[in-house]
Amino acid sequence: MNISKAKLEELFVEELARLEPTAGFMRLVKDRVIHAWRELKTDAVQRIAEIERRQKAIREKLDRLDQAFLFERTIDIDTYDRHATSCARSSRSCRWTRHSSELEEMDVEGILAFAERVLPSASNLWVQSSFAQKQRLQQVFSPEGVRFDGKSWLEPGQPCRFSTV
């Protein structure tokens, strides 16, 4: 099947326009994403608070250990080393857990505001873009690529045969 480049591009713009989300849909998506993001942040804050409590308990244990060994002389060096090593391991574990619990600070609302502006006007954005910008947009809109069988756009994995003229 042969189809002109201009016609193929026109059909692609029509397909983008057909797929553009409505403002209501975008508001719904934004609300759900912000809600989920806030829940993640709340959970992360709670995990970090628990980790900080554990770290404080470890520091207090080390202080008592130092007191018993250095000042009261109620424990020997082997006991001190064994407990100090255990506390150091626990402290490293807490730091690692805290690091993995901290969420990357992202401007989720800013990203969503950008998506609200771009996605509902994807076809206009495509028409106004340079060739290089279109290549990048195509990767965003359809990372698997787009295929056309001469009548309709195909899902990834469906076979197609066409050429442009």
Single pTM value for the model: 0.57
pLDDT in tens, 32-45: 999 999 998 899 89
Cβ count within 10 A of residue 61: 16
pLDDT computed for residue 9 by the predictor: 87
- The rounded distance, in Å, linking the Cα atoms of 143 and 114 is 19
The pLDDT of residue 150:
75
Residue 162 banded pLDDT, cuts 50, 70, 90: very low
DSSP assignments along 15-65, one per residue: HHHHHPPPHHHHHHHHHHHHHHHHHHHHHHHHHHHHHHHHHHHHHHHHHHH
One-letter identity of residue 92: R
Check if the beta carbon of residue 16 is closer than 8 Å to that of residue 138.
Answer: no
pLDDT at 128: 93
Average pLDDT for 23-40:
91
pLDDT (tens digit, 9 = 90+) per residue, 79-134? 999 999 999 999 999 999 998 888 777 788 888 888 888 888 889 999 999 999 98
What is the model's pLDDT at position 3? 82
